[in-house]
Amino acid sequence: MTVKNEKGQAILKSVLDEVSKVVVGKDDIKELLMIALLSQGHVLIEGLPGTAKTTVARTFAHAIGGTFKRVQGTPDMLPADILGFYLYRADGSSTFMPGPIFANVLLADELNRTTPRTQSALLESMQEQQVTIERETHKLDHPFIIIASQIPYGGLGTSQLSEVQTDRFMFRTWSGLSTLEEEDQILKDIDAITEPQIKAVTTPEDIVRLQQDVKKIHIADGVRRYILDIIDNLRHHQDIVLGPSTRAGIALLKGARARAFTQERDFVIPDDVKRLLSPVLSHRLQVSPEAEMEDIGPEPIINEVATQVPVPIIDNA
């Protein structure tokens, strides 16, 4: 049985087509951004400078018709530079000056160049879609998604994101260098890419409705148990000293529902879960020092567990 939501499917296709006018390749990142948006999640993109991290986020925001704001991470950035502040006048009155976080899509570029204090300013917004400034709570726009980029840790002037921070990102993905064919296409279309004519193909209100439609996607007990078994096996793996939190299982469930929706199904299959294992789990695992000495990272462990956990047989007839 397929999802009978032709308008919704047309919106998703139009957004991806519009983004692809500017962003050559990066299909995995485009898919994860769409799934995260439908699941009300956030995305952390890691990669070297010049690999289209900013371009894909900006184009994505314009295509969904939402407001887009960008902050450039620097060591001297303060929380108020992101959240906003109150402007006080001599007569005692004050006016709230909203920061760039009041947008549908916020790009936090090179987030790991900021200090831990500034990084933590995003925590409340990522979990509760609100910010508290001087004891006053301010609701954020809907839909709301943070797309953060970071350069590989160890680069000049970087501060590693805390486990609490990374756990709030639904997905982490890698933005690598383009293939030669893709780079050739970029060079041929460079004028159109640098001066893009991106139009909004939907509205934030339509996206909010799609988010509600995704919540109606059915997930069988067997698939839900499959997610729990993977999480549990990782927590007890001999090479893992810090396993995934409950938020990881929630991200897998919500992400699998959204992927099923993008595939025009009204039910989740195990392949939806498998597709998202690495983006959901790789940044939530801390391997043991012994495993690191043997050059074993999270990815091989995730793949190992995925092959060991029995895949449920789902009958949706």
Per residue in 227-276, pLDDT (tens digit) is 999 999 999 999 999 889 999 999 999 999 999 999 999 999 999 999 99
Share of the chain above pLDDT 70, in %: 96
Identity of the residue numbered 78: L
Give me the mean pLDDT over the 122-143 stretch.
90
Identity of the residue numbered 292: E
pLDDT at 53: 78
Identity of the residue numbered 136: E
Per residue in 271-307, pLDDT (tens digit) is 999 999 999 999 999 888 888 888 888 999 999 999 9
pLDDT at 317: 44
Domains of the chain are: 6-208 (3.40.50.300), 217-308 (1.10.8.80)
Indicate the burial class of 152 (C-beta count within 10 angstroms; 0-12, 13-18, 19 or more): exposed
DSSP H stretches of helix in the chain: 6-20, 27-39, 53-63, 80-83, 116-119, 123-128, 163-167, 180-188, 190-194, 204-214, 221-235, 246-262, 270-281, 289-293, 298-308
pLDDT at 158: 77
pLDDT at 151: 78
Per residue in 50-86, pLDDT (tens digit) is 777 778 888 888 888 888 899 998 889 999 999 999 8
Identity of the residue numbered 227: I
Per DSSP, the three-state class of 153 is coil
**For 99, which DSSP code?**
-
